Amino acid sequence: MNKDDLLKLLEELDFPKDQFYILSSGCLVFYNLRDMANDLDLCITENLFEQIKNKYDLNAEKKNKYGFYKLSDDVEVVVDSDEDFIDQFDLKDGYQVQKLSIIRDFKVKRGLPKDLVDVKKIDDYLNDKSLDM
């Protein structure tokens, strides 16, 4: 999915923008560090989870080993407490997206070849941003 596809999907979900932030490859698309994302992963508040759990029939059996619930073939969500939700994201194009520093730390720990490519792009982006200041 390209950025336009992600934006359309977010519009269709119609979740309150302050109740979720975008994770993973979707973030990298919003930062223009990738052209495409395989799917849309969101971190949602407990409050939003309570609002959508019946609509999407979310229960423990729908949770994968990483704690994500599958809403559709293209969308997965993970729930975060209100306390942990704070200070995890930046604003890009009107949407909350996970901070690059957090994505970078995760990718360094995981260490897959594709992650190392992303880490290089993130480092370059962050270095360019620091030069702008």
- Give the model confidence (pLDDT) of 85-108 as tens digits: 888 999 999 999 999 999 999 999
Domain ranges, ordered by start, for the chain: 3-98, 101-133
Note the pTM of the prediction, 2 decimals: 0.91
Q: How far apart are CA 121 and CA 124, in angstroms?
A: 5
Reported as a pLDDT band with limits 50, 70 and 90, residue 81 is: confident
Instruction: Tell me the CA distances in angstroms from 127 to 50, 67, 82, 102, 122, one per residue in order.
Output: 40, 32, 31, 16, 8
In the chain, what is the straight-line distance between the N-terminal and C-terminal CA atoms, in Å?
A: 32
DSSP code of residue 102: H
